[in-house]
Amino acid sequence: MLEKSERPWGRYEVLQESATHKVKCIWVLPGKRLSYQRHKFRAEHWFIVAGDAEVTIDGQIRQLSAGESVDFGIGVAHRIANVGSSDVIFVEVQTGTYFGEDDIERLDDDFGRA
């Protein structure tokens, strides 16, 4: 069975993983947001499936809705926030050389995580 995890902002499920990529489906609860973070070993592509999201990439804020996507490279600071009244659901495709949850450098976090 692939990984599933509950988080203070929602949850995620790993859909597929290999030595070269990892694919997750991520649910963000209304009014919640992920930490503002960056990675040393992976780039990410986010495709919004449902909901209204506010995405911050290196300090620049964009609004995204279902059917829209965004990419950011290794080392780029990023965050997604749910600014709507229903769950934001997005598919995250990670590419790079390492995909562990310990490859997260949190720059800011609403839940006090380091």
Residues 79-96: tens digit of each pLDDT? 999 999 999 999 999 999
Domain map of the chain by residue range? Answer: 4-107
Q: Report pLDDT for 79.
A: 98
Looking at the domain covering 4-107, what would its CATH class be?
A: mainly beta
What's the whole-model pTM score? 0.95
d(CA 17, CA 93) in angstroms, rounded, equals 10
Partnered with residue 26 across adjacent β-strands are: 12, 90
pLDDT in tens, 47-68: 999 999 999 999 999 999 999 9
The percent of residues above 70 in pLDDT, for the chain, comes to: 99
Q: For residue 58, give the nearest of 84, 83, 41, 79 by alpha carbon.
A: 79
